[in-house]
Amino acid sequence: MIGLQAYLVLAALVFAIGLFGVLTRRNAVGILLGIELMLNAVNINLVAFARFNGDLAGVVFTLFTISITVAEVAVGLAIVIAIFRVRRTVEADRLNLLRG
Amino acid sequence: MTLPTRLPLLVLLLPFAAFVVLAVVAPLRRAGARAGLLSIAAMSVAFMAALVAWVEGFRGEATWSWIPSDGGPIATVGVLVDPLSNAMLVLVTLVSLLVQVYSLAYLGDEPPASLGRYYTYQSLFAFSMLGLVLSPGFLQMFVFWELVGLCSYLLIGYWYQRPAAARAAVKAFWITKLGDVGFVIGIVLLWSATGTFDFGELFARAQEHALAIDGLGTIMFLIYLGAVGKSAQFPLHVWLPDAMEGPTPVSALIHAATMVTAGVFMVTRAQPLFALVPDVLILIGWVGAFTALLAATMACVESDIKRVLAYSTVSQLGYMMAAAGAGAADAGFLHLLTHGLFKALLFLAAGAVIHAVGTNDIFRMGGLFRAMPQTGIVFIVGTLALAGVPPLAGFFSKEAVLSGVWEAHLTVPFLMLALTVLLTAFYMFRVVFITFFGRAFEAGHPHEAPWLMRGPLWLLAALTVAVGIRLAVGGGEHEAPGWLVPLSLASAFVGFALAWAMYQRGLVDPATFSTALAPFDFLARRRYGIDALYAGLYRALVLGFARLIGWIDRYLVDGVLNVLSALTLRAGAGLRGIQSGRAQDYVYGVAFGVLLLFVWAQLWR
Amino acid sequence: MAVGPLTLPILSVITWLPFVGALLIMFTARHRPRAVRWIAVVTTGISTLLSIYAYATYNHEAAGFQFYEKVPLVPPLGISYELGVDGISLLMVLLTSIIISAGVFASWTVAVRSQEFYALLLALVTGVYGVFASLDLFVLFLFYELAVLPMYLLIGIWGSTGDVRPRGIFAWAYRETGVGTKEYAAMKLTLYLLFGSAFILVGIFALYVSAGAASFSFLELEAAVFPLGLQRWVFLAFYVGFGILAGIWPLHTWSPDGHASAPTAVSMLHAGVLMKLGAYGVVRVGMGLLPEGAADLVWLVGGIACINIVYGALSAMAQTDLKYVIAYSSVSHMGIVMLGAATLTEAGLNGSVFQMFAHGVMTGLFFALVGLVYEKAHSREIGKMGGFGNAMPGIATAFTIGSLSSLGLPATAGFVAELLTFLGTWRSGHRWWLFPAVAGTFLTAIYVLRVAKQIFWGPPSPQFQHLEDARGPEWVALVVLVLVLVLFGMAPGLAIAPVDTATVPLLARIVGP
């Protein structure tokens, strides 16, 4: 029997990988993938806790998150495409219009 | 309301109606002479009504609430009719009427729109002065007092495109307003102490010795300051000679019947109150006498015919005030009335001369008697009256003033006034000899003025004589010391003789006099430096202080604020680098923040 | 509460009609400038007629707050939409109506984005009406903000840039903040007023909490008793907060810059009505709710008012820009308003309220005239002008009448206001206030006549040709304002009778009957 600990470590690793991707990736699509990893890390946690506590709420939340994530990816990619159309690039470093 | 109040109210409202019509109906105003006719028509009816009120000796009072308050009105408006106001009504309406008729010819060449504006102001002027005369209390008097000042401002500045006229108008307003500062403070204090502005109530209390309020002397002094400004007393007399920049008929009006008489009228009206404060009365007497003398000396060296007359007005106002200060307000008021007649006459005659020769400078006139004998005769009548020669009107009123001052034991002021009699005769005959009898000046062909101008002149001359005779027959109840009449006649004769010797016969060279009296000559020609002093004070003190405050406001009060905001801007500029605009940098921040929170939570639980 | 013969919620209609007009302008009058103006004329016109009606039918015997309306908004917090007017606020509502109806005509020639201009102007007016009519402090505050914020856009977009030379030791700060530009003026004004409104909000909440009645209603707070210490500092907060809008020294510097940069109608409304909001707030909210605090602090209010009067007049004298002269004259005249209130006497308080009205109309007239002169001559430099009287006699006449009211000449509204204030000062606890006040009127005589002489008198300046007098709609503004000035100057009872019904009970609360 694999303990809860192992799931949590896995989730933390996936989260860290996702965060690393978000912070270091130049390409906007890569950043989106990183975000996706982080969200799934959270999902792993939720499912794990649901299983070990016998509470189905976590599973419900996970389903919820997955559906939201789909929408988020759709919107995110749409924005990336829109930016690409305007600026001809999806390099995150160049997208600094908000610079003070 | 009964006839005794209704009729004077009609006198008051007729010029007002004319003013409103002219102010509102622009086409009529722009029609010029027709506007004048409307104004004259209103004024004639007002004059006849005033005459009726005077002859019938109406008395009465009617008031209405003006500024309400919880415990009864703070201020009322209304009319107070008594012999004093009746006499003034007649004088004001008469002089206004004659001046307006005269102006039809005198200003006939003006553009119609300007002429209409002139008559609009004239009507307002008459209304304001009548309202002042009929005031039943200090507040209404102040209201119309200010309106009179406004009208003088407008009329002096009638030729507003001439810089000198613009300056003179503003100067007149400022200087009189300076006196009014005292007036307004005085009536505010009076109201605060007594709770009323009403003459009737105040006088009643004064009679019952129930007016024992602290600082009544101060209050009356402050109120008197208003009269100092309005009636051109030293040291606020400087505006009146400059007021000559207005058209000559306006000068006649201002000097004879309106504006400057307001101060004397006020002091006369408030006599029961001034009587309670002998110290202030003595001051009034001294200032009046000093003003009379000072102005007379300036008149002696002036070469502008209108300015000579202006200084003579200042001087005569000094007489009136001195009389009021001596407790002989009736004598002062009588002098006001007679002076109104012959000063209007003199100014209008001077206007006819100026109209004919096109200059104000008496040394560029000369021998005019041959060309305009009628004007010459009436001018001489006016001069004799002013110099105090019997049986003309001026003689009796001046004697009354002199005896009043003597009897009040104001010896030094009396001497000043007596000396002024001499100077008055001198400077007036100086003008007469130079203008009408001297060597004829070659330029131009002066001719007699049109009848519209001559008519008023003859009427005023006739009145000056008639009033004099009337006073000779009916007056003379005052017990003057027996030596007074000879003394003043002798003084006047000496003045006349001097003028004759200098300017007619050439027996004495005026230059010897000016060198003999060099310091006086020097000062008098420079108006004793009073004008220059005021100009300097205004520029250095008022404008200088204003500029200082303006600078402080702009660069110090506001500067602190601007420094604050500039520092804020700089702080923002310093911190802007943090905002890179790259989303990933912000996420770094978030991640680092979460880490910190985590560590904090672990360490200090 | 007295119920009018109409069941129409008359105050709500007056208040919201301009807002409806603003919406109509934004949504129906696109690119039709003429329609924009007519919508503005009609909506403000109806509001004006209704406020005259309300003024005429106000019951002087019953006094108190009339035309009362109340709709609960957030019952748990005690916030409700509660309107009602007494003598003071009624006069202010009337003033607002007069100024906005003149202002609509005075801005007839706005060419750039006139649709947005009028919409913002009307929205602002709704805020002003709302402040004067509100009896609920929370709603009053909302209206207050509504009145202040459109100003930023109105000045920032339609304003004009003046000329201020950076000088002195702080010159660097002047360069960095862009002093003189319209953006600077707009920002300064907004920041100042928001700074003030923060104080007001704190004060309102303090009263709300301290009263413990869970109500923002003025009437309920009026009935509550507050401890003296609280009264003192809350009054101070209200005084600073509202006072900034009333231009109290030394927090007045937003006003000259703001007024000078603002377009004509905005200057008119701002100096004419918005500054009165401040004074009204001090009197109504400050003195009305905190009688003992007010009585304790009048020395400060009156003292600063005296500084305002003299300092404003002297500053006005030092200006070379026509708009700045008028703007500083407002600072000086608002001093009279605050001074009258600080006397805590019937005459003084009546004078104060009357001066709010008189100065509102007068300064509205002045800014309308300055706008016209600027439009014809394209200059605001007094020194360059001269002899305009010949080409624009109508404007010159109106300017003269405005000047006369400004220097307190009888038969104009300014005189009555100043006289009553003077009468009040000598009966107040601080008699010496009379002297700076009277000196101020003399200084005013100096600078206004000097300006009038420089612009309209003298020989015509060769730099200006083809000047013309006011035309069409512009006349409407001038004539209305001049008539009101003279009418209320000759018959002051028209205004003082209703005002007195409100000031007497107010004073009774402060100094006892």
**What is the extent of the structural domain holding A85?**
4-91
What is the 8-class DSSP label of residue B543?
I
What is the C-alpha separation between C336 and B202, in angstroms, rounded? 29
Q: Is residue C168 part of a domain?
A: no
Crossing angle between the packed helical segments B305-325 and B248-256, to the nearest 10 degrees: 10
Query: Is the CB of residue B558 less than 8 Å away from at least one CB of chain C?
Result: yes
Q: pLDDT digits over B258-281, tens only? A: 888 899 999 999 888 888 888 899
Q: C-alpha angle with apex C27: C25 to C28, nearest 5 degrees?
A: 70
Is the Cβ pair A93, B581 closer than 8 Å? no
**Vertex C507: Cα angle to C502 and C512 (nearest 5):** 135
User: B304 in helix, strand or coil?
Assistant: strand
Q: Which of B364, B248, B249, B259 is nearest to B306 (CA)?
A: B248
Task: Using DSSP bridges, classify how beta strands B60-67 and C79-85 pair: parallel, antiparallel or unpaired.
Answer: unpaired
Partners of C496 on chain B (C-beta within 8 Å) are 67-69
Record: contact A100-B588, CB cut-off 8 A? no
Whether residues C169 and B192 touch (CB distance < 8 A) is answered with: no
What pTM value is reported for the model? 0.87
Q: Is B579 an 8 Å CB contact of chain A?
A: yes
By C-alpha distance, the chain B residue nearest A24 is B584
DSSP string, C380-414: -BGGG---GGGT-HHHHHHHHHHHHHHTT-TTSHH
Q: How many residues are given for chain C?
A: 513
- In whole angstroms, what is the distance from residue C422 CA to residue C439 CA? 11
Q: What is the mean pLDDT of chain B?
A: 86
Please, which residues have CB within 8 angstroms of residue B273's CB and are 6 or more apart in sequence?
B202, B203, B206, B211, B216, B220
Helix then strand count (H, E) for chain A reads 3, 0
> How many structural domains is chain A composed of?
1
- Asked whether the predicted pLDDT for residue B478 surpasses 70, the reply is no
Q: Among candidates C73, C430, C30, C78, which has minimal Cα distance to C224?
A: C78
Is B577 within 8 Å of chain A by CB?
A: yes
Q: Which chains touch C (3 or more CB pairs under 8 A)?
A: B
At CA C396, angle to CA C390 and CA C399, rounded to 5? 165
Q: Residues C161, C262: contact at Cβ < 8 Å? A: no
Query: Are the Cβ atoms of A22 and B584 closer than 8 angstroms?
Result: yes
Shortest CB distance from C434 goes to which of B174, B185, B546? B185
DSSP string, C328-374: HHHHHHHHHHHHHHHT-SHHHHHHHHHHHHHHHHHHHHHHHHHHHHH
- Which token pair is A11? 């989730």
Residue B467 vs residues B331, B385, B396: alpha-carbon distances, Å? 15, 11, 10
- Number of Cβ within a 10 Å radius of residue B327: 22
Q: Is residue C1 part of a domain?
A: no
Residue B277 DSSP label: -
Question: Which residue in chain A is spatially nearest to B577 when comparing CA positions?
Answer: A100
- Of the candidates B582, B587, B591, the beta carbon closest to that of A96 is on B582
What's the pLDDT score for residue C72?
A: 87
The pLDDT > 70 percentage for chain B reads 98
* CATH number of the domain that residue A81 is part of: 1.10.287.3510
- Six token digits for residue B574: 């310093």
- Which of B65, B188, B543 is nearest residue C317 as measured by Cβ atoms? B543
N-terminal to C-terminal alpha carbon distance within chain A: 54
Interface test with B, best of C457, C461, C494, C500 (most B CBs within 10 A): C457
Confidence at residue C2, expressed as pLDDT on a 0 to 100 scale: 46
In the three-class reduction of DSSP (H, G, I as helix; E, B as strand; rest coil), residue B546 is classed as helix
Q: Is residue C461 part of a domain?
A: yes
Span B45-98, pLDDT tens digits: 999 999 998 888 888 888 888 888 887 888 888 888 888 888 899 999 999 999
How many distinct structural domains can be found in chain C?
1
Predicted local confidence at residue C109, as pLDDT: 80
CB contact under 8 Å between B177 and C442, yes or no, is: yes
pLDDT of amino acid C313:
92
Q: Enumerate residues 6+ apart whose C-beta is below 8 A from C41.
A: C101, C104, C105
With beta carbons less than 8 A apart as the criterion, state whether C82 and C274 touch.
Answer: no
pLDDT band with cut points at 50, 70 and 90 for residue B113 = confident
Q: Assess if residue A100 is contained within a domain.
A: no
- Return the bridge partners of B77, or none: B64
Does the beta-carbon distance from C458 to B555 stay under 8 Å?
A: no
Q: Which one of A22, A24, A99 has the shortest CB-CB distance to B581?
A: A99
C3 part of a folded domain:
no
- Positive or negative, the Cα torsion across C267, C268, C272, C273? negative
Q: Quick check: A92 and B583 CB within 8 A?
A: yes
**Long-range residue pairs from A69-75, CB within 8 A, at least 24 positions apart, any chain:** A69/A36, A69/A39, A69/A40, A72/A35, A72/A39, A73/A32, A73/A36
Instruction: Name the minimum distance, in Å, from the CA of B551 to any CA of chain C.
Output: 8
d(CA B405, CA B327): 8
pLDDT of residue B394: 81
Closest CA to B266 of B212, B320, B218: B320
Contact flag A23-B580 (C-beta cutoff 8 Å): no
pLDDT at A25: 85
- Segments in chain A below pLDDT 70: 1, 98-100
Residue A100: list chain B partners with CB under 8 A. 575-581
B512-549 as b/e: b if 16+ CB within 10 A: eebeeeeeebebbeebbebbeebeeeeeeebbeebeeb
C contacts of B557 (beta carbons < 8 Å)? 250, 253
Q: Choosing among A15, A23, A25, which should be mutated to test the B contact, i.e. which has the most B CBs within 10 A?
A: A23
Q: What is the ipTM of this complex?
A: 0.89
Q: Give the gap in angstroms from C-alpha B583 to the nearest C-alpha of chain A.
A: 8
Asked if residue C5 belongs to a domain, the reply is no
Residue A99 resides in a domain: no
Local structure of residue C75 (DSSP, 8 states): G
- Tell me which residue in B576, B579, B587 faces A22 most closely, judged by beta carbons: B587
DSSP conformation letters of C94-123: HHHHHHHHHHHHHTTT--TTHHHHHHHHHH
Collapse the DSSP code of B82 into the 3-class scheme (helix H, G, I; strand E, B; otherwise coil) and give the result: coil
Which run of H or of E encompasses B76?
strand B75-81
Q: What is the pLDDT of residue A74?
A: 92
Question: CB count, 10 Å around CB of C415?
Answer: 23
Q: Can you list the residues of chain C whose pLDDT is less than 50?
A: 1-4, 6
Average pLDDT over residues B275-301: 89
C347-390: pLDDT as tens digits:
899 999 999 999 999 999 999 888 888 888 888 888 888 888 88
pLDDT for the residue A100: 62
Q: What share of chain A is helix, strand, coil (3-state, %, to 5)?
A: 80, 0, 15
Rounded-to-integer distance, Cα C39 and Cα C34, Å:
9
Q: Would you tell me which residues 138-177 of chain B have a C-beta closer than 8 angstroms to some C-beta of chain C?
A: 139, 142-144, 146-147, 150, 153, 157, 160-163, 166-167, 169-170, 173-174, 177
Please report which helix (H) or strand (E) contains residue B485, including its range.
helix B484-499
Report yes or no on chains A and C touching (3+ CB pairs under 8 A): no
Q: Which of B19, B65, B69 to mutate to test the interface with C (most CBs of C within 10 A)?
A: B69
Among chain B residues, CA nearest to C404: B150
Q: Could you list the residue range(s) of the whole structural domain that residue C80 is in?
A: 10-162+178-511
Residue B219 pLDDT exceeds 80: yes
Q: What is the 3-state secondary structure (H, E, C) of B412-433?
A: HHHHHHHHHHHHHHHHHHHHHH
CB B183 within 8 A of CB B225: yes
Task: Give the ranges where B134-244 is alpha helix by DSSP (H).
Answer: 138-156, 163-194, 199-207, 216-230, 239-242
B580 vs A contacts (CB less than 8 Å): 96, 99-100
CA nearest to C277, candidates C316, C310, C238 = C238
CA C205 from centre of chain: 25
Three-state SS string over C407-469 comes to CCCCCCHHHHHHHHHHHHHHHCCCHHHHHHHHHHHHHHHHHHHHHHHHHHCCCCCCCCCCCCC
Any domain includes A96: no
Which chain B residues are within 8 Å of C446, Cβ to Cβ? 174, 542
Taking the CA atoms of residue C83, residue C86, residue C91 and residue C97 in that order, the dihedral angle to the nearest 10 degrees is 20
Which of B70, B188, B562 comes nearest C177 by C-beta?
B562
Helix (H) or strand (E) holding C69: strand C66-74
The residue whose two tokens read 């999806």 is A90
Of A19, A24, A98, which is closest to B581 when you measure between CB atoms?
A98
Does a structural domain hold residue C2? no
Would C466 be classed as within a structural domain?
yes
Domain membership flag for residue C476: yes
**Closest-approach residue (CA) in chain A for B591:** A19
Q: Is B49 strand, coil or helix?
A: helix
- For residue B349, list its beta bridge partners: none
CA gap C391, C396 in Å, rounded: 9
Instruction: Kindly list the residues from chain B whose CB atom is less than 8 angstroms away from the CB atom of residue A42.
Output: none
